[in-house]
Structure 1
Amino acid sequence: MNNKNLRNVLSKFATGVTIVSTIDDDGKPVGMTVNSFTSVSLDPPLVLWNIGINQPSYDIFLNAKGYSVSILSKDQRDICNLFSSSVDNKFNNIDFVLSDNGFPIIQKSLAWFDCLKWKNYPGGDHQILVGEVINFHANENDPLIFWNGSLA
C-alpha cells in the first residue's frame, strides 16, 4: 500500500481543527494542533484523539491526567499554524485560561472540552487517547476546517 496515496485519499474527509493542551510535570502548558478529534459516547461522555508516537509531546500527553480540546474558529488560522510548528513556548503570546482541571483552553475558540484521561489504546504508529468530558462550552462562530491538505 502506498502511504502517500492513502494520505491523499484520507484528506478528502473534511475535519475540524483543534488544539489539544495539557500541563507538563513542570507546570508548563503544552499543546498541539490535532484534527483527529471525534466524539465516542454520550453516556459516559467520551471523546478521542490520536497522537503520533514520534511527536515531541507524546510522553507528556500519554502520562497526563487529562487535557483540554479547543475547537478553533475560522479566525484562528494563525493559532493552528503556531501549534503545528516546532516553536517552543507556544502559549507565550496566546490568550488562554485554565479549565477547572488545570488544562489550557484557547480563548475565543469555537468550543472547548475539559477532559480527564479515560483510556489509551495503541493504534499502529499512533496512540488513541480517550477522555471523559468533565465540562464543555460553545461559542457562536464558524469553524476552521482542514480539507484536501489545506485549511478552509
Structure 2
Amino acid sequence: MDKKAKKKVLQMVPYGAYIVGTKTEGGVDHLMFGTWLMQTSFKPPLVTFALSQDSRTLANVRRSKAFTVSILRQGQEDLAQHVLDEAFDEVQKERSPSGLPVVASGAGWMECRLLAIVEHGDHRIAVAEATDFGVGEGKPLSLDGLGWHYGG
C-alpha cells in the first residue's frame, strides 16, 4: 500500500465541524469537537458518529445513552478551537429538551438516543436515533473551512 496516497485520499473525504454534547457522571457539561458524522436512515432518522475508543465523550454516551450534535456555522472557527482546548466556559450553550448542552447560535443541532455501538478499529461507531432538532442560521462550517485535516 502506498501510505502517502492513502493519507492524501482519505483526507479528501469532506467532513463537517460538529460539537458533541454530553454530561459527565457528575452532571457536568462535556463538549467534544468531532467530524465523523453521517446520516444513515430516513425512517427513523438515524445517524452514526465515530468516537475515539478512549474518549470521555464515548464513556458518557455509553453511560447515558444520549448525546447532542451541534453543527457549527461559518464564523464559529474560534469556538471549535475553544472546544479542542477544553475551554468550555468560552462556549455559549443552550439546552436540548432533555437538558443536554447544544451550541448557541450554531447552524443547527440534533439530540440523539444511542441504539448501538460498533466495536471495530480505533474509533467506536455510535448508531443513534435523532429524536429532536433545532435550526439556527448560517451555512455549516466544514473541516476544510477550518484549514484542518482529520483522516488518513
CA RMSD of aligned residues (A): 2.0
Is the alpha carbon distance of 1:112 and 1:149 closer, same or farther for their aligned partners in structure 2, counting shifts above 3 Å? closer
1:5 Cα deviation after fit: 4.8
Distance in 1 of aligned mates of 2:62 and 2:54: 12
What residue number does 2:60 align with? 60
Instruction: Note if contact 2:14-2:143 (Cα within 8 Å) is conserved in structure 1.
Output: yes
Give the letter for the 1:99 counterpart.
Answer: S
Give the one of 140, 143, 146 matched to 1:146. Answer: 143
Residue segments in structure 2 that go unaligned for 5+ positions in a row? none
Which stretches in structure 1 are left out of the alignment for 5+ residues?
none
- Confirm or deny: 8 A CA contact 2:95 2:101 kept in the other structure: yes
What one-letter code is carried by the residue in structure 2 that aligns with 1:8? K
Deviations 1:120-144 (A, max 9, x none): 1112111000111111122231221
Q: Does 1:101 align with 2:98?
A: yes
Describe the shift of the 1:139–1:115 C-alpha distance in structure 2 as closer, same or farther (beyond 3 A). Answer: same
Partner of 1:35 in structure 2?
35
Identity of aligned residues (%): 26
Higher percent of residues as helix: 2
Q: Is the 8 A contact 1:12 1:147 kept in 2?
A: no
Moved over 4 A (4+): 1-5
TM-score by length of 2: 0.87
Partner of 1:117: 114
* TM-score w.r.t. length of structure 1: 0.87
SS at match of 1:79: helix
Contact 1:12 1:148 in 2 (8 A): no
CA deviation profile, 1:17-72 (whole Å, cap 9, x unmatched)? 10001111101011111110110111111111101113344322332220000000
Distance in 1 of aligned mates of 2:145 and 2:135: 26
Spell out, residue by residue over 1:69-107, the C-alpha distance to the aligned partner (whole angstroms, 9 max, x if none): 00000111111112223x3xx321221111112210100
The answer to whether the 8 A contact 1:23-1:102 is kept is no
Residues 81/4 of structure 1: CA separation in 2 closer, same or farther (3 Å cut): farther
User: Would you say the 8 A contact 1:48–1:128 is kept in 2?
Assistant: yes
Give the total of aligned pairs: 148
